[in-house]
Structure 1
Amino acid sequence: MCGRLSITDSPGVRALCDQMEIALWPDDGQIFTRFARATQRISVVFERDGQRIMRNAIWWLLLDKTHDEGGRSVLRPSKYTSFNTRYDKLNTPRSAGYQAFRQQRCAIPVRGFGESQKTREGMHYHDMVVAEEGAMAMGGLYRVWDYTDDRGERRQAISCSVVTLPPHPKLQAIHQKSTPLMLSETDGSLDRWLDAGTTDSDALNDLLTPCIRHPLNAVPIDRPSSHNPIGESFTIQKDR
């Protein structure tokens, strides 16, 4: 279960964004942070009308319209957990990700991601970043929410999730339940995922097999908030 992302302002992340040929950028700029967690805003890229667009989205696919303490209408994360979307739900009609998998796929440029695992000794945390100052893209889904605020003005919000796949053998010591969908510009997986012209889900099913597409440096840390290394880092080699 991918629960945190590293989106630092690094040469690798900027180079990946340049390679993606983004035509329209967020008005408030791309979001960079070492530690992004679910329900926070992150920058996502998707295709619309033949152009690649970056927008800042809430990392929680399902939103509910509610009111803040001042009584104003706002959109907030739903009570239903949806920061990740499991691969086996993508082809389940009426599931949250069914239509988005066919029509609203996005990519999230990141430096790396973090995972946790519970053992008898307690929780263990690892941060994994692409080696040599590189970057990767997480495969995700997005939704667009239109609503009217208290002034009667039309507003729009974007939400997103990360697609998670079955566990990967190379990550068994780090996280045993799932693997995030990792995409690469080099092998064509990123372009295929973003192609808005692909609406036949069968054409993307091979991407739902766990694959490490970049060499990853894994670092054991004490906890995500303090991010102190507590052991030697090691390299997880890419699959191809």
Structure 2
Amino acid sequence: MCGRLNVTDCEGVRALMEGLQIRLWPETGPIFSRIITAANTVSIVFENAHGQREMHNALWWLLLEPRISNGTVVDFKPSKYTSFNTRYDKLNVKRSAGYQSFRSMRCVIPAAGFGETEGKGSQARYTDFTVFAQDKPPHAMAMGGLYRIWQYKGQDNTNHYKVSCSVVTLPAHPKMEKYHSKSSPLVLSHNDGSIDTWLDSGLTDTRALAWLLKPKLRHSLVAHPIVRPTQPESVGEDTLLMADN
């Protein structure tokens, strides 16, 4: 999956957020934007140790490193190691970036859609994906991800924290290979209980999550070819990718 999300402030995304039964919201509210790219801020939802769901604004880059001024950690910034995605086949590899988060710090990222790129340079083809409007509402998607919390004192000597996240990626789904041949994002749904399973903070036996780590279209998607992310004009006909049974 390429590092581009569409989190437009629309009825579908709002309905998905309400359906997640969030108890705690960020003071600044959710982050909305037609394009959110990797290493920028996106809103995530996770379940705390008490089983209550919280929304936080997180840096879309799982691994962070300290930003130091005068010998003091004043913030965290994206690590030099690329980590806006976490591959499914690394989740059970000890010492990998997502190993511990997969066991205890899973999240969802509410979105209206996502973007993919196939090819490079002048041969690159860009495609936006949104949930097919005739599917059961809400017409939005919950991207399955991981998160981490980074704590520091700061120059004011008070406790601060920063949240980071990544999207879990699976092998390319057969229906999506022409749009991105390397991977496809984990997209969850209320319809099959996958959202509740993924967010369950009491679920630490990852064997119970194995069924989620196989490519599956839980929603019908519309593939919309565009010029490029900054020029979303259509350059061809939309293609309907029907949800799997």
- Please state which band the TM-score falls in when normalised by the shorter chain: over 0.9
Amino acid at match of 1:224: P
Report the counterpart of residue 43 of structure 2 in structure 1: 43
d(CA) in 2 for partners of 1:113, 1:119: 18
d(CA) in 1 for partners of 2:180, 2:84: 17
Instruction: Using the TM superposition, give the Cα deviation of residue 172 of structure 1 relative to its aligned residue in structure 2, in angstroms.
Output: 1.3
Amino acid at match of 1:106: C
Percent identity for Structure 1 against Structure 2: 53
Structure 2 counterpart SS, 1:171:
coil
d(CA) in 1 for partners of 2:209, 2:148: 19
Q: TM-score, normalised by structure 1?
A: 0.96
d(CA) in 2 for partners of 1:20, 1:72: 34
Instruction: Using the TM superposition, give the Cα deviation of residue 73 of structure 1 relative to its aligned residue in structure 2, in angstroms.
Output: 2.1
d(CA) in 1 for partners of 2:156, 2:53: 31
Over residues 27-70 of structure 1, what are the superposed CA-to-partner deviations in whole Å (9 max), with x where a residue is unaligned?
110011110100000000000011000000000000000247xx
In structure 2, the CA distance between the partners of 1:30 and 1:121, relative to structure 1 (3 Å rule), is closer
- Residue 139 (structure 1) aligned to one of 138, 144, 161: 144
Instruction: Using the TM superposition, give the Cα deviation of residue 2 of structure 1 relative to its aligned residue in structure 2, in angstroms.
Output: 3.2
Does the CA contact (< 8 Å) of 1:2 and 1:180 recur in 2?
no
Does the CA contact (< 8 Å) of 1:109 and 1:136 recur in 2?
yes
Instruction: Spell out the pairing of 1:82-101 with structure 2 (5 A cutoff).
Output: 82-101=83-102
Q: TM-score, normalised by structure 2?
A: 0.94
Report the counterpart of residue 64 of structure 1 in structure 2: 65
Structure 2 counterpart SS, 1:96:
coil
Does the CA contact (< 8 Å) of 1:8 and 1:33 recur in 2?
yes
- Residue 176 (structure 1) aligned to one of 154, 160, 181: 181
Instruction: Using the TM superposition, give the Cα deviation of residue 227 of structure 1 relative to its aligned residue in structure 2, in angstroms.
Output: 1.3
Instruction: Using the TM superposition, give the Cα deviation of residue 72 of structure 1 relative to its aligned residue in structure 2, in angstroms.
Output: 7.5
Matched, 1:220 2:221: no
Any unmatched runs of 5+ in structure 2? none
d(CA) in 1 for partners of 2:164, 2:122: 36
RMSD of aligned Cα (Å) = 1.6
Instruction: Using the TM superposition, give the Cα deviation of residue 74 of structure 1 relative to its aligned residue in structure 2, in angstroms.
Output: 2.0
Amino acid at match of 2:117: S
Instruction: Using the TM superposition, give the Cα deviation of residue 154 of structure 1 relative to its aligned residue in structure 2, in angstroms.
Output: 1.2
Does the CA contact (< 8 Å) of 1:2 and 1:162 recur in 2?
no
Report the counterpart of residue 109 of structure 1 in structure 2: 110
- Residue 194 (structure 1) aligned to one of 190, 199, 213: 199
In structure 2, the CA distance between the partners of 1:228 and 1:67, relative to structure 1 (3 Å rule), is farther
Over residues 151-209 of structure 1, what are the superposed CA-to-partner deviations in whole Å (9 max), with x where a residue is unaligned?
21210100000000011100011000001001001111111000011000100011000
Amino acid at match of 2:7: I
Q: How many residues matched?
A: 239
